[in-house]
Structure 1
């Protein structure tokens, strides 16, 4: 592989993305959604801050809300509402299948160019375009926050940087799925349909279906209900069996949820945007113990969050590597005649 040719292909792909109407509308829609969510997040942050100071909060707030709370709605739009997934799919579903459908793939490869240079160049160009989109969006977020009077401190800026990196990886994972299906399928429509099917399987079928099936096969059915007039010993044994069953079931479901890029994204960003909720979920405490816990625990910092979430971050990085690896091997071995 020649690095000069790779750089030329990457630059050409990036330029094609930047100059396309598709990317223009993607950036417009992405920035509009982020502006709306940022304004809503600032309002939510101000209300939470006032509630925390007055002690009238209706939610569990162990710590004073930080500016990162503004991003709770933003990450929800990108992840739960699927904005990041749509952007990734839109940039990659026709990279190879479009060349094949337009019968230009043979002409391209007839030049002094190797297949690995082409697939790597297209991937790098797409990732550069996604980086441009995400940076533009986060600059808009930062500008809106400053305009509305919120100035993040150093730790909060580091947290924003981590959210940006995880968001970029989230979109890259979706992009590599569509790049992989673009290599597998012969047409753009086939590539898009296959990409949507894979995303659906990863987001819903494997986490939910896999968790239910794994619980049924490994743990079995939940404990049978006991009679209303059961003795204290029977009641204690029943509760112990219930705790064991639901504990094992939760562990199995958590394992299968690691296969969902959406759920991993949420798990990584939750402690950054909502540290109080993260600590409460981690400790598993009830409402009466919130006040006591707030006096005994420290608010998680940027570095403690990295320490707690590094395994999930590695899993998150793993997905683009796997999808691109499949696309690379398939493209190198495919028959383009």
Structure 2
């Protein structure tokens, strides 16, 4: 029992060390400033638009004011959730690209593991420390955004709005955690921090810029004839939706659209039988959770796979003084 308590205390010390190292690093401070400035600019833009424009009476999402703060824009700046989806992966890559290989290059890993610390505790502390920073950062950012909106307008969020914002926060943490785990995997596989950082940024650019272009080319090549049957057109649309969801950013975009826009009832095509008689009204929060569950599960599975690969590679790696 004493050995377990001592190992747990040493693990907490490792996590505190990692959090301290991350917070004091210039790369984190610079990227944190970029995230805060862009999100503040997007928040000011959305609040200005919402104060000037009266909600349309036929807009089913007009009653969710605090959700529209994260999705509204006048076109000059992207909305809040777009900035989070764009800069979040950079934050995860920034925190993880030199998590392990820097310890090898600085010759500190042998001294750390010479203490009564297990290898898995070392790697777990790297991930937990960075994930706690990500969770605290985005929680603070979301609370500040909501607080500024309350002071600006004098309104207070409803229970359903708070629940959807909490789910959006959870989805954001899982999404950034995937990129964090991916960059930690590259940090285990490559000794050079520059190489692991470039590979992580290259994969992020591929899924952000080039993968949608590839999907569009495939869509034009296999597009069915306009006079095709309903089954062929539906099969084509389902295949293209499946193809686009191999990109992590697409999973995040689908999840944010469902959580922040309660009037969206489906992410795929609907038949005439499903549309007929439907009243345009917002979905309850549990119905939106059912729709977004696949996206959240996909991001969690991808994160677990990346962590398992980095764990397997690190545990088999030779540690030399």
TM-score normalised by length of structure 2: 0.84
2:5 equivalent to 1:18:
no
CA distance 1:221–1:300, change in 2 (3 Å): closer
Equivalent residue of 1:111, what SS? coil
Cα distance between partner residues in 2 of 1:309 and 1:244: 25
Cα distance between partner residues in 2 of 1:136 and 1:63: 25
Between 1:261-270 and 1:327-336, the stretch displaced more is 327-336
2:38 equivalent to 1:33:
yes
Cα distance between partner residues in 2 of 1:29 and 1:273: 24
CA distance 1:200–1:28, change in 2 (3 Å): closer
Aligned to 1:162: 167
Which stretches in structure 2 are left out of the alignment for 5+ residues? Answer: 72-78
Aligned to 1:115: 119
Cα shift at 1:244 = 4.2
Q: What does residue range 303-318 of structure 1 map to in structure 2 within 5 Å?
A: 303-318=286-301
Cα shift at 1:65 = 4.3
Verify the 8 A CA contact 1:257 1:263 in the aligned structure 2.
Answer: yes
Q: Per-residue displacement from partner, 1:110-159 (whole Å, max 9, x unpaired)? A: 33322111101111111111112112211221122112114211111111
Cα shift at 1:264 = 0.7
2:131 equivalent to 1:127:
yes
Verify the 8 A CA contact 1:100 1:187 in the aligned structure 2.
Answer: no
Q: Aligned to 2:88, which of 84, 88, 97?
A: 84
Cα distance between partner residues in 2 of 1:210 and 1:254: 10
Aligned to 2:224: 222
TM-score normalised by length of structure 1: 0.80
Q: Aligned to 1:102, which of 106, 121, 131?
A: 106
2:152 equivalent to 1:148:
yes
Aligned to 1:66: 64
Instruction: Report the structure number with the largest CA radius of gyration.
Output: 1
Aligned to 1:239: 227
Cα shift at 1:63 = 4.3
Cα distance between partner residues in 2 of 1:113 and 1:263: 39
Aligned to 1:267: 254
Cα distance between partner residues in 1 of 2:249 and 2:283: 23
Equivalent residue of 1:222, what SS? coil
Equivalent residue of 1:71, what SS? coil
Q: Aligned to 1:138, which of 132, 137, 142?
A: 142
Equivalent residue of 1:275, what SS? coil
Between 1:307-316 and 1:176-185, the stretch displaced more is 307-316
Cα shift at 1:201 = 4.2
CA distance 1:37–1:102, change in 2 (3 Å): same
Verify the 8 A CA contact 2:93 2:179 in the aligned structure 1.
Answer: yes
Cα distance between partner residues in 2 of 1:215 and 1:327: 38
Cα distance between partner residues in 1 of 2:114 and 2:149: 51
CA distance 1:34–1:205, change in 2 (3 Å): closer
Q: Per-residue displacement from partner, 1:270-298 (whole Å, max 9, x unpaired)? A: 1222233x248667599xx99x85xx243
Cα shift at 1:205 = 5.7
Cα distance between partner residues in 1 of 2:172 and 2:61: 25
Alpha-carbon RMSD across the aligned residues, in angstroms, is: 2.9
CA distance 1:312–1:62, change in 2 (3 Å): same
Verify the 8 A CA contact 1:181 1:195 in the aligned structure 2.
Answer: yes
Aligned to 1:7: 12
Equivalent residue of 2:56, what SS? helix
Aligned to 2:74: none
